[in-house]
């Protein structure tokens, strides 16, 4: 099954993350297939706008933890100690730059988010020019509690420092409605209206010449890049590797292997597990 689908519909390229059986979770191939689809749309002179969505019940539930946490994927995400930070950096930097193909594309990209855009899935969504969410969809980066640092660093550029800290110090998920109120995304609408809302925005931009769209996007993105986006992303990517090879990160990996990633994630997100001591927090609310 093709993990990223591509379809051209008039002046709109429709790119779909297509691993619905795992809520479009990211494996080794997805970032690079996404980058290829974006490059295909960007090179097509008849395409003016891209719409990125997810098949099935979610936009993207982040990295596939059955693959990377319960198992070890290609062995690059958690290495035997002592670990090689440059090996880790090269692996994650490639993924980060694949997600950033959405940002670098000359043409506007609209992320249509239903269900979840969490962890690495939020990285993908926030690299797009616009995010339109269903009111009840959820977005967040829960691995900031342990085992992750968002490598694209888009949270701070979209929210500013205080609200970015509010999200990344807690690892909370928020609804589309809350994300719109916070200024993280462009708009939130009832799920029944999501397709029509995104279609109206895409069609409106599709009537603009490609060169006009490209010039406006380059100017606006340059203002963000001049603030040091590349430097921030490099630091975040290095820190992401450190989080997975810190004592707490290794304990999370061991816990996921022992009890399964779903239970390990539930304990992480509820705050009931002490990752330093690798045991339950005494008196913690088991219901979160």
Question: What's the CA gap between 262 and 221, in Å, rounded?
Answer: 37
pLDDT by residue (tens digit) across 149-164? Answer: 999 999 999 999 999 9
- For residues 65-76, average pLDDT: 76
Per-residue pLDDT at 287 exceeds 60:
no
- 284 pLDDT more than 90: no
Question: If you average pLDDT over residues 137-141, what whole number do you get?
Answer: 98
Pairing of strands 273-274, 279-280: antiparallel
Give 75's pLDDT tier (boundaries 50, 70, 90): low
Indicate the pLDDT class of residue 248, thresholds 50, 70 and 90. very high
Tokens 């997100």 correspond to: 269
The yes-or-no verdict on residue 219 having pLDDT over 60 is yes
Alpha carbon distance 147, 256 (integer Å): 11
The band of 116, judged by pLDDT with boundaries at 50, 70 and 90, is very high
Percent of residues, the chain, with pLDDT higher than 90: 92
Q: What is the mean pLDDT of the chain?
A: 95
Residues 180 and 189: their CA atoms lie apart, in Å, by 9
Residue 76: exposed, middle, or buried by beta-carbon count in 10 A (0-12, 13-18, 19+)? Answer: middle
pLDDT reading at 288 higher than 50: no
Mean pLDDT of 240-248: 96
Phi, psi of 5 (to 5 degrees): -95, 150
CATH number of 4-193+206-245: 3.90.226.10
* Low-confidence winner among 41-50, 67-76, 135-144, 186-195 (lowest mean pLDDT): 67-76
Q: Mind listing the pLDDT tens digit for each residue in 165-211?
A: 999 999 999 999 999 999 999 999 999 999 999 999 999 999 999 99
Q: Which residue has the higher pLDDT, 258 or 76?
A: 258
Handedness of CA 278, 284, 286, 288 (dihedral sign): negative
Q: Is the Cα torsion angle 165, 168, 169, 175 positive or negative in sign?
A: positive
Residue 279 has pLDDT above 50, yes or no: yes
DSSP secondary structure string for all residues of 2-61: -SEEEEEETTEEEEEE--GGGTT-B-SSHHHHHHHHHHHHHH-TT--EEEEEESTT-SB-
Kindly state the average pLDDT of the residues 269-288: 87
Could you tell me which residues come within 8 angstroms of residue 288 by beta carbon, excluding any fewer than 6 positions away?
266, 269, 270, 271, 272
So what's the pLDDT on residue 77? 83
Cα–Cα distance measured from residue 184 to residue 231, given in angstroms and rounded to the nearest whole number: 21
Average of per-residue pLDDT across 229-247: 97
The yes-or-no verdict on residue 67 having pLDDT over 90 is no
For residue 73, what pLDDT band results from cuts at 50, 70 and 90?
A: low
Residue 71 has which token pair? 């198992």
Using the predicted structure, report yes or no on whether residue 54 has a pLDDT greater than 60.
yes
Cβ pair 189, 135 in contact under 8 A: yes
Alpha-helix runs per DSSP H in the chain: 30-43, 65, 85-99, 101-104, 120-126, 154-159, 161-168, 176-182, 194-206, 210-225, 229-245, 247-259, 261-270
Question: How many whole angstroms separate alpha carbon 126 and alpha carbon 123?
Answer: 5
């Amino acid at each position: 099954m093709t993990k990223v689908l591509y379809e051209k519909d008039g002046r709109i390229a429709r790119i779909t993350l297509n691993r619905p059986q795992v809520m479009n979770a990211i494996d080794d191939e997805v970032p690079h297939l996404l980058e290829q689809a974006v490059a295909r749309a960007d090179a097509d002179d008849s395409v003016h706008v891209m719409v990125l969505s997810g098949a099935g019940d979610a936009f993207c539930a982040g990295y596939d933890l059955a693959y990377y946490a319960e198992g070890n994927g290609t062995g690059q995400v958690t290495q035997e100690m002592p670990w090689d930070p440059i090996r880790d950096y090269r692996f994650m930097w490639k993924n980060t730059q694949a997600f950033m193909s959405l940002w670098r594309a000359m043409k506007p990209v609209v992320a249509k988010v239903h269900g979840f855009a969490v962890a690495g899935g939020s990285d993908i969504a926030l690299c797009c020019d616009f995010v339109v969410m269903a009111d009840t969809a959820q977005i967040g980066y829960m691995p900031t509690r342990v085992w992750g640092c968002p490598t694209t660093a888009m949270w701070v550029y979209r929210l500013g420092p205080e609200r970015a800290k509010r999200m990344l110090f807690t690892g909370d998920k928020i609804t589309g409605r809350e994300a719109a109120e916070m200024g993280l995304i462009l708009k939130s609408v009832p799920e029944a209206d999501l397709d029509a809302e995104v279609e109206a925005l895409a069609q409106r931009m599709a009537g603009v010449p490609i060169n006009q769209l490209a010039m406006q996007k380059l100017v606006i993105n340059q203002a963000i890049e001049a603030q040091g986006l590349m430097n921030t992303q490099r630091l975040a990517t290095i820190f992401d590797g450190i989080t997975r090879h810190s004592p707490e990160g290794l304990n999370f990996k061991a816990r996921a292997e022992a009890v399964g990633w779903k239970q390990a994630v539930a304990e992480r997100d509820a705050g009931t597990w002490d990752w330093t001591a690798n045991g339950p927090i005494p008196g913690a609310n088991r219901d979160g």
